[in-house]
Structure 1
Amino acid sequence: MLHEMSIENLGVITSARVEFSPGLTAITGETGAGKTMVLTGLTLLMGGKSDVHAVRAGADSALVEGRVTVDDPGFVARVDDAGAALDEDGSLLIARTVAAQGRSRTHVGGRAVPRTVLGELAEDVVTIHGQSDQMRLRAPQRQREALDDFAGQNLAARLDEYRALWNERATARTELTELTTLAQERAREAELLRLGLAEIERIEPAPGEDVRLAQDAERLANAEELRTDARGALVALAGDDLGDVVVDAESDVVALVDRARRLTESGGLHDARLAEISRRLADVAYAVADIGTELSAYLAELDADPARLEAVEARRAELGHLTRTYGSSVDEVLAWASTAGLRLLELEDDDERISALSERVAALDHELVERASVLTTLRTEAAAALGDAVSAELAGLAMSGATLDIEVSPLPEPGPWGADSVQMLLTAHRGGTARPLGKGASGGELSRVMLAIEVALATSEASGARRTPTMIFDEVDAGVGGKAAVEIGRRLARLARTTQVIVVTHLPQVAAFADAHLVVTKGTTDDGVDSITQSGIRLVDDASRVQELARMLSGQEDSEAARQHASELLELSAVRL
């Protein structure tokens, strides 16, 4: 249940704290006194959207804090999943900050969370009904939801199964549509893939071949220059006379290094440092000799055959066509071929896939029809029970002879919520015509129908609806008065036997049934600005409650006649329960 709420700088409320009791709590006050801001605070506390215009003029931000408890292990687990923590007494602290400039902030159990997380948690705590809910009740979807709530967990489980099947069928149908409607395009894609793969298979590129051939072409195109340079280097190293290059035999590298080695080798007998230099010169001699051997082999292998160069360039041209079409290198071409092969297998399998998907969709359609039939049966049974329960409530809400019939009719084909169209038909009086709730009900009648549905959902033995610990009603008595108002108060009091109920009302007949009565009064600050402070939301009882009811009855709280009427109303409300 909701235990308390504190508000700062929200609308006309400067600073106020409200404590809520079990049972029925009525919130009253003059028109414009600030009851709406109290409801706005409750809405924010339960994860409703924030509005920067609700921040009090001149304030940087508005703050709403509250404390709730829910005796449900599932709720405690969801709080834990959100990373929040319960207080030592098992209560959950909630805070909303609405900045005049910027976004609101939400804290649950001491942890900052997204507003949507608070909204999901609040679904297990509070149900808020306002005039907007009455308008939504005109919509067929909301009427179906109310019926499904009444049907309870059995229908909810079947509906979850149906929804999963519906989504699976939707996915299969989308894939089937893509395969059939895009068949020509997919066939063209497959043909292009075949041509590309055939061309690559004909040319048979090897990994890295384009890089190797580029190197070969560069070498073959400059073979004579390379030969001259290699010969010169070999003669310089080894002093060999190759005919076109002559180097003094005493000045070649091999001879000079060998001479230096021999000289240092002799001196090294007397000096270890010189001996080390001699050993290093020996290593140099071996390296030079090895390089000379490698240069000789290079010269022997160097090929200046024009025919070979022509063959290399022709092969590069073939590979170049592939790299211009399927990738910037042969390796990329081969990667494309691998991917294209897999895609071609997928495209060539279209006929079999279309056949398999068609069979699967047909099977899912059949199963959906069967599951939809189960939903129809459950809804039809629940519709009769809910209609009877609401009609009984309407009789007690000064709508004697009124009945609510819930019509469950088939849709042309199953939809995402089954194969049923749900419509509530209200017969407002005996002998009247049943008319759709969205067309034939006045505002006052719609208020009473909504309350009757809520009472039926919460109290009917046939109801399987999930009950929240707290229900908040805003102007549920709009458009009614007299005996109907008394009966609304009585129904709210009955509802409060099992659920905490908070009602914002302007009718004394409703407020008289409350277990706790809160009055909102507005004052002014020193500069004449409207303001509700800590004392502006107060709990009234005894004489002060009689005075408030007298004000609501006649606008004259000091009238003795109004006070007597208020006292009588309190006495009668206690008896009529």
Structure 2
Amino acid sequence: MLTSLHIENVAVIKTLNLDFSKGFTVLTGETGAGKSIILGSVRMLLGARTDRDSIRTGEEKATVEGLFSEIDDRSRALLNESGIAPDENGELLLLRTLTAEGRNTCKINGRAVPLSTLKAAGQILIGIHGQHDTQLLLSEDTHRVLLDRYGRCEEAFSAYREAYSESVRLKSRLEELLKEERFRIERTKKYKTAVKEIAAANLKPDEEELLEQRKKILRDGEKLRKQAKIVYRALYKNEKGGSAYDLLEIAQTALEQLSEVLPESEEYISRLTGFRLEMEEIAKSAGEVASIADGNPAEELNRLEDRLDLVKALKKKYGSTIEEILAYEAEAKNQLIELSGREEELRLLKERLEKAVLLSREKGEVLSNCRKKAAQQLEKAVNDQLRYLDLEKVVFLVQSEKEYTENGVPKLTPNGMDDISFLISSNPGEPPKPIADIASGGELSRIMLALKVAFADKESTPSLIFDEIDTGISGKTSQKIGMKLREISAYTQVFCVTHSAQVAACGHHHFKISKYEVDGRNRTAVEELGEADRIEELARIMGGIHTSDTVRAGARELLAEGQKC
């Protein structure tokens, strides 16, 4: 619970020290006395955004400090999750300072912490309900969050959101691949055609040069054939004998006979053997040229022309040389392997997406079941409170709707498979409608109080602050609100800023907030009231400026009745 509060240099507050106890504490005062400033200071302590204009004029900084003690086990566990631990006395001292330059200093038990950590601690230790929270009740976006909190479905929601986010990521990647699929198909077709054409051509690296040579031979025809035959016959074979090859063979045989008298004969024989081999090679090359010109030169020339045209066509498509064409073929094969890998990636991605969607639906069903159970419990809890708060005819309902796909399965959304909205039926027989459509200001306050009471029972927040929860309510209902706040203060420290005498009379403790002037400047003062002063304050609230004995008597009776709750 909040044990003490120190406020310094916030708006019209110079210095203020307040000590609090368990139970139900009310704060009253005239309009403009500083009630909202105190509440704003508490919000500042809890990490809320605070403007530099809130610093008291002429001062360099504003400071708010709060001491919390008797922290329950659940709150301790939540604090530990944020890396926050009470001291050896089980206490937490929160401090926040805001300078005129806009710099924040935040500390917990004397240790500097980020503003986010201070805010995390504040959300665990104190729950604040004001007019802004009532307006949030009109927004359906808030309803799902409230239901998940009430049913403690946050873990199920986190599991669903994780699965859903993965399915969205995979779907996005799949859409990217599908956009690329047309391009991939076109490229695959292109490379397959290239590989087929080049492979069918069966090109050799030096083929074009050889083809040009053969073409030249065929064109020159008889002349080249005659010369090639001369070379062949002179060097190697002819009908009459006496070729250079034959003569060298004769010379070689003779040298073998001279081996005994000619020491160099062995070397000469080896050299002649080399000559013969060279002559044989030259002669055979010439013979090939001669054979090209034999047969049907025109037919062979046409065949060569066709082959060269094929090479020329492939060069236009795939490279300026046969070597480049063959390199293109190799690259095309590599590209096909890579593109086939994309096809496999697409297949695997589809499988992963199907599994992710299936998992999302499974987690979504778990979340939906949690919400369904929570909705039933919340409806009962709120309707019980509404009946107590004189809204017997009002029925509170939690509506859960699903939107279905063409295949008849619930659509997946970032927040689950359910659209959650709070509805009320204000009179018997009337269909339930959104709260924003039919609830008055007083009804909104009571519905919000009913929700807060339901949550207080469920969450056991150490301290609750209600800011003018009685707006738009008076008489017996106001008294019931005070009684309800006093009731829940049995297990949760409760504060209420109120303009209602009926609510104020139910408090265990009563603080009066007033404004006074010092040296031409306003200051705010807060004092805890004893019984006599409480009666005077209640009489002021009831009677206005002029307080009569009759009003005082009514205030005394109201206080006595409020303390019996």
1:3-402 → structure 2 map (5 Å cutoff)? 3-69=3-69, 71-72=71-72, 86-152=86-152, 155-183=153-181, 348-402=340-394
CA drift of 1:3 comes to 0.8
- Asked if 2 retains the 8 angstrom alpha-carbon contact of 1:390 and 1:404, the reply is yes
Supply the distance in 2 between the matched residues of 1:417 and 1:82 (Cα, whole angstroms): 24
Runs of 4+ in 1 over 4 A off after TM superposition: 72-85, 184-195, 341-348
In the superposition, relative to structure 1, how do residues 193 and 22 fare at CA in structure 2: closer, same or farther (>3 Å)?
farther
Q: Name the count of aligned residue pairs.
A: 420
Identify which range, 367-376 or 500-509, moves more after superposition.
367-376
CA drift of 1:508 comes to 0.9
In the superposition, relative to structure 1, how do residues 572 and 77 fare at CA in structure 2: closer, same or farther (>3 Å)?
closer
1:545-560 → structure 2 map (5 Å cutoff)? 545-556=534-545, 558-560=547-549
Q: 1:493 aligns with which of 486, 491, 501?
A: 486
Name the residue aligned to 2:462.
469
Identify which range, 73-82 or 480-489, moves more after superposition.
73-82
- Structure 2 residue matching 1:374: 3-state secondary structure: helix
Offset from partner CA, 1:181-214 (integer Å, 9 cap, x none): 234567899999999xxxxxxxxxxxxxxxxxxx
Name the residue aligned to 1:268.
none
2:558 paired with 1:566? no
CA drift of 1:343 comes to 11
Residue type of the alignment partner of 2:559: L
Residue type of the alignment partner of 2:396: L
Residue type of the alignment partner of 2:354: A
CA drift of 1:122 comes to 1.7
- Structure 2 residue matching 1:123: 3-state secondary structure: helix
Offset from partner CA, 1:386-419 (integer Å, 9 cap, x none): 1122112111112221111111111341212211
2:403 paired with 1:411? yes
TM-score by length of 1: 0.68
Supply the distance in 1 between the matched residues of 2:467 and 2:412 (Cα, whole angstroms): 37
Name the residue aligned to 2:317.
none
- Asked if 2 retains the 8 angstrom alpha-carbon contact of 1:85 and 1:109, the reply is no
**Percentage of matched positions with identical amino acids:** 34
Supply the distance in 2 between the matched residues of 1:345 and 1:106 (Cα, whole angstroms): 60
In the superposition, relative to structure 1, how do residues 342 and 565 fare at CA in structure 2: closer, same or farther (>3 Å)?
farther
Offset from partner CA, 1:115-148 (integer Å, 9 cap, x none): 1111112222111111111111111121112222
Name the residue aligned to 2:506.
513
CA drift of 1:173 comes to 1.4
- Structure 2 residue matching 1:57: 3-state secondary structure: coil
Supply the distance in 1 between the matched residues of 2:478 and 2:143 (Cα, whole angstroms): 24
Residue type of the alignment partner of 1:8: E
2:527 paired with 1:538? yes
Name the residue aligned to 2:2.
2
- Asked if 1 retains the 8 angstrom alpha-carbon contact of 2:55 and 2:61, the reply is yes
Name the residue aligned to 2:438.
440
In the superposition, relative to structure 1, how do residues 457 and 168 fare at CA in structure 2: closer, same or farther (>3 Å)?
same
Supply the distance in 1 between the matched residues of 2:23 and 2:141 (Cα, whole angstroms): 31
- Asked if 2 retains the 8 angstrom alpha-carbon contact of 1:70 and 1:125, the reply is no
In the superposition, relative to structure 1, how do residues 170 and 496 fare at CA in structure 2: closer, same or farther (>3 Å)?
same
CA drift of 1:103 comes to 2.1
Supply the distance in 1 between the matched residues of 2:338 and 2:124 (Cα, whole angstroms): 48
- Asked if 1 retains the 8 angstrom alpha-carbon contact of 2:507 and 2:562, the reply is no
Residue type of the alignment partner of 2:353: V
- Asked if 2 retains the 8 angstrom alpha-carbon contact of 1:83 and 1:111, the reply is no
> Which runs of 5 or more structure 1 residues have no equivalent in the other structure?
196-340, 460-464
Residue type of the alignment partner of 1:128: I
Offset from partner CA, 1:407-455 (integer Å, 9 cap, x none): 1111341212211111111122344442201221112111110100111
TM-score by length of 2: 0.69
> Which runs of 5 or more structure 2 residues have no equivalent in the other structure?
195-332, 405-410
- Asked if 2 retains the 8 angstrom alpha-carbon contact of 1:24 and 1:502, the reply is yes
Supply the distance in 2 between the matched residues of 1:347 and 1:73 (Cα, whole angstroms): 59
Supply the distance in 1 between the matched residues of 2:191 and 2:110 (Cα, whole angstroms): 60
Larger Rg: 2
Residue type of the alignment partner of 2:472: G
Name the residue aligned to 1:503.
496
1:419-458 → structure 2 map (5 Å cutoff)? 419-458=417-456
Identify which range, 104-113 or 373-382, moves more after superposition.
373-382
- Structure 2 residue matching 1:477: 3-state secondary structure: coil
